[in-house]
Chain A
Amino acid sequence: MSKIKAENVNVYYGSKQALFDVSIDIAEKEVTALIGPSGCGKSTFLRCLNRMNDVIEICRVEGSIKMDNLELNSRKLDVVRLRENVGMVFQKPNPFPKTIYENVAYGPTIHGIAQSKEEMDQIVETSLKKAALWNEVKDRLDEIGTGLSGGQQQRLCIARAISVSPEVILMDEPCSALDPIATAQIEELIDDLKKEVTIVIVTHSMSQAARVSQKTGFFHLGKLIEFGPTDKIFKNPDNQQTQDYITGRFG
């Protein structure tokens, strides 16, 4: 079933066009990987899905992006509600310089989700458990989140993202700053999370895309070159450019 349906999305940074007529169907409760060489527009596309491009003054988005029939690229959209539903994990772990507890409780607090202290404790605990971090931090929830290791910080950010029970999580190269062990932990986590949420992940690692995703989209120079089941893209792509990129002949 389709969760997000993008049609003819064009993005401009000032006068420079970054995305050209991107149309894509992102299926519910699956992992969709976006791959492609640097500067190909995959992160730009990802940021359209939770309107993070609003932060960039000169950025302009055209086209239609529908999530469950709700038009995302509309002035009337309540961006706060959208971002409650669409969480995001960034390339570089970015926990707030607050305690671990406060980091996870941040979303529920600003959206008024928890009614009581007990409920908040519960949300923090389940989020940290889902992010496979609970056992490592349960005795030091009042320590500063930025004091954790890189992999732990990234899992803390995932816990923060899932604390408001989003339907979609966007991940922008979540493992590029992590070592292989932390990367394996995050990938395992992605596998678990997809039972409940739709995940869109941008990655530079072809093997990671192959391991975690069900669908893969290949971007090049702002265009979506090919999109399809991961197996097919990696074993038998239709497009020569995709073939070349995956076999490492360019990019």
Chain B
Amino acid sequence: MNLILVTFIILLAFTSYYFGRKKALVIQSSQRLTALPKFYGYYLAAWCAAPALIIFALWSVFEPSIVKTFILQDYTDQNLTKNELQLIYTKVKALAAGTYTGNITNFLDESANKYIQLKGIANSAKVAIILAILIFSLSFAYRSVQKNDRMREPVEIFLKWVLFVASLGAVLVTIGIVFSLLFEAIRFFQAVKIFDFIFGTHWYPAKTFVRDGQPDPELMKDAFGAVPLFAGTFFIAFIAMCVAIPIGLLSGIYLSEYAGRGVRKYAKPIIEILAGIPTVVYGFFAALTVGPFVKEIGNAMGLEVSAESALAAGAVMGVMIIPFISSLSDDVMTAVPQNLRDGSYAMGATKSETVKKVIFPAALPGIVGSILLAVSRAIGETMIVVMASGLAANLTMNPLESTSTITAQIVVILIGDQQFGDPKTQSAFALGISLFIVTLFLNVIALSVVKKYREKYE
């Protein structure tokens, strides 16, 4: 029913576009048009589709809760809790749809009939109202087309609003995600002191799990210390950057300053392919190839190496990040104006002197920006760590031992069966929001640094 209605509105909008354009051509024969004929078409189409679709959307949002209120009115005198009411409503709906298998009481049956009836009324009302709106708005729009009113401005304003609503949607979703993280995290911090979370050195949420009961507050105190996770996260990111920064920067310099046009044309896309490899592939590459390799080398040297080592995960993550740094730093160095290079060469500077003294300093803000973006990427990376670095949250600075990160622990917490109100589950939100704050902070710095760089040359 809904699908038919929407399709009808959209088809009608298309038709009115052609109709409006045709009408404009007719008007053209007697008087000067106020805009190109297509604007007449857009005008009619917009008036046709927008009001009807808006009402349709609002109706679809509010209809279920209104129907629910009507149904549950009959149960208000029974002193039921919110959950019980919800259960009844679900039963009524199932009964109406014919999928209910439990005991059917008279009361339920009555409610289900009422539900079907209400739904029917709502549907017919919806169709009627939308048809009325279509007729009303189309005739209104058609009259102004007939009067040859100004067409361009309303269409432009309409487009502006369409774009505004699209960006508003994106912003609202972001805000929604942040707030849901925040509220769950706050609930977590009601169970676990924020001090214990930030400064505690033991992460072992599994031990707080108690079947059908409240966990022991003493246990809680020592189970959610995030220090090992933060340490592990930054440690692995640090190893990754040790790999990615030198290789990325040097290859970026080579690409922008030394490589001939032919080399650059092929080398740059090849490096960028690294960024296109799915992280899960990097993950098993790290777990199955690099990890055992590191272990073997370490064993040959007489070192104790865990099969899942921070070194393997960090190194592979570094390889994954190389293209971020090399490609971005290549871009910012290429963007340094040629006349600065000329100025330096004309003074008798060699290529390496020019790179070191002119190009690199001039591009430095952009390079710093690219590195910070790469760091926040490394901190947020999950798959490689889950697969290659282990899940035990050891507090260690030994790259040959296994360690775990915030992202990996979130995975551990949320796979398998969950109890939603459980502090163990909620701790994922606390971890998520701390991760979010760290990467947000890095991104803000990166963007402001890059912006500063732009101001210099434009």
Contact = CB atoms under 8 A, between A and B. Distances in A.
Given A80-B350, A90-B339, A110-B353, A96 B344 contact: yes
- Majority secondary structure of chain B interface residues (helix, strand, loop or mixed): helix
B346 A96 contact: no
B357 A94 contact: no
B324 to A, nearest CB: 25
Contact of B339 (A81, A94, A98, A107): A94
A157 interface: yes
Contact of A55 (B260, B341, B362): B341
A87 B345 CA distance: 10
Interface string A46-86: 00001010010100000000000000000000011111100
B343 interface: yes
What bracket does the count of chain A residues touching chain B fall in? 20 to 34
B342 interface: yes
A111 B348 contact: yes
Contacts, number: 68
A84 B361 contact: no
B82 interface: no
Given A98-B361, A107-B348, A157 B261 contact: no
Contacts of A107: 347-348
B259 to A, nearest CB: 11
Interface in B346-395: 346-350, 353, 357-358, 361-362
A80 B353 CA distance: 11
A83 B346 CA distance: 6
B269 interface: no
Contact of B340 (A52, A83, A96, A110): A96
Contacts of A197: none
A110 B343 contact: no
Interface string B238-265: 0000000000000000000000110000
Nearest to A144: B456
Nearest to A95: B343
A94 B337 contact: yes
B343 A52 contact: no
A50 B345 CA distance: 10
B347 A52 contact: no
A57 B343 contact: no
A40 to B, nearest CB: 20
B349 A146 contact: no
Interface residues of B, number: 21
Contact of A81 (B344, B346, B348, B362): B348
Interface in B287-339: 337, 339
Contacts of B353: 110
A224 to B, nearest CB: 23
A86 to B, nearest CB: 8
A29 interface: no
A96 B342 contact: no
Contact of A88 (B261, B346, B357): B346
Nearest to A85: B348
Nearest to B338: A55
B346 A87 contact: yes
B456 A80 contact: no
Given A97-B362, A98-B361, A110 B348 contact: yes
A164 B346 contact: no
A12 interface: no
A106 interface: yes
A155 interface: no
B347 A87 contact: yes
B455 to A, nearest CB: 11
A180 B91 CA distance: 88
Nearest to A108: B347
A67 to B, nearest CB: 15
Contact of B358 (A96, A146, A161): A96
9 contacts: A50-B346, A88-B342, A88-B346, A94-B343, A95-B343, A96-B358, A106-B347, A111-B348, A161-B347
| Chain A to chain B: the 6 pairs with minimum beta-carbon distance, closest first | A83-B348, A88-B346, A94-B339, A94-B343, A84-B348, A107-B347
